[in-house]
Amino acid sequence: MAAIAKKAERLGFDSVWVHESLFQRDVVTYICAMASATSRIRLGSGVINTFTRHPVAAATTFATLAELSHGRVNFGLGLGSFPTIPLIGHDVFPVERTRPLRRIKEYLDVVRSVWSGRPVNFEGEFFRVHNLKLGFELKHRIPVFVASLSPKTLRYAATAADGVILSPGFNTAWGVGRMVESVASGERKAGRNVERASYMMASLDRDMEKARRVMREYYFFVYQLAEVVKPEVLVPYGVTEEKLAPMKEAWSRGMVEEAKRMIPDEAIDALTICGDGDTAIARIKEHLDRGVTLPILMPIGNVDYAMTELAPGGG
């Protein structure tokens, strides 16, 4: 990751984002390594979650990262990974009981109170802090990004954060556009505009079939298509529930390799960016036309080729 960040900086990219889950490497360690290897590019968590770090710890950590990086860090926050959070004893559903938006609001209130440098006294439903003060001066402003799939949380983020992160990694331009509508509603309410970031999974190669094959073999893509992606976002691209049924049936029976073979090419093309550089740029523009202002590319497979082809300076 340090090498990738260094190359991204040399190629002229604006920022590098890293995310984490319970079974992946720690995002803070990544940002430390990347900060030490670079001098200009921004570094973002996209995202940490509200369950695995107390907001006081998160505030202190990112204040330290801002100091380490000389003000180049973005603080990206999300509720938590739906499949893994229950593994450590936290329910996500039903939302009427778990109140995810309330949790995120409280989390940001605590983080920002700590960053203010004043003594923090907070009594919330999920978090409590009494007479605590950051022990060093925060000299850099830390932009806040909130990630969510929920229209209510996206509307809130547009009123309270510097940016939103729209996509879980796999979405169509049409689906992202629907999420942007929620953000725009919040922007109108607050009389402000925010950065609209969106993850875009990409497999770039001059050979389209090879690019698709890399995506088809990616376990996370199969899981997302089978269990997470909302069917309605695929309908405008000719991918119906009927077309996906054989793949989902194989997945439900644990036949992962069979499920991979049954994924329609149209689903891969709609949800991801596959092909050469020109094809990828055209697909990214579709998302920009839907209201995305900060595309975050997640390259797999031929990563060097993807970074070079999509570099702001043309490589």
Return the domain boundaries, the chain.
2-204+276-309
- Note every long-range contact of 249-254, with CB atoms under 8 Å and residues 24 or more positions apart, other chains counting: 251/222, 251/223, 251/226, 251/227, 252/226
Q: What is the CA radius of gyration of the chain?
A: 20
What's residue 168's pLDDT? 75
**In this predicted model, what pLDDT tens digit does every residue of 247-288 receive, in sequence order?**
999 999 999 999 999 999 999 999 999 999 999 999 999 999
Give the side-chain half-sphere CA count within 13 A for 27. 24
What's residue 314's pLDDT? 57
Homologous superfamily of 2-204+276-309 in CATH?
Answer: Luciferase-like domain (3.20.20.30)
**In this predicted model, what pLDDT tens digit does every residue of 1-35 receive, in sequence order?**
999 999 999 999 999 999 887 778 899 999 999 99
What is the maximum span of the chain, computed from C-alpha positions, in angstroms?
60
Query: 3-class secondary structure for the chain?
Result: CHHHHHHHHHHCCCEEEECCCCCCCCHHHHHHHHHHHCCCCEEEECCEECCCCCHHHHHHHHHHHHHHCCCCEEEEEECCCCCCHHHHCCCCCCHHHHCHHHHHHHHHHHHHHHHCCCCEEEECCCCEEEEECCCCCCCCCCCEEEECCCHHHHHHHHHHCCEEECCCCCCCHHHHHHHHHHHHHHHHHHCCCCEEEEEEEEEECCCHHHHHHHHHCCHHHHHHHHHCCCHHHCHHHCCCHHHHHHHHHHHHCCCHHHHHHCCCHHHHHHHCEEECHHHHHHHHHHHHHCCCCEEEEEECCCHHHHHHHCCCCCC
Closest by Cα among 297, 298, 243 to 265:
243
pTM: 0.94
Residue 315 above 60 pLDDT?
A: no
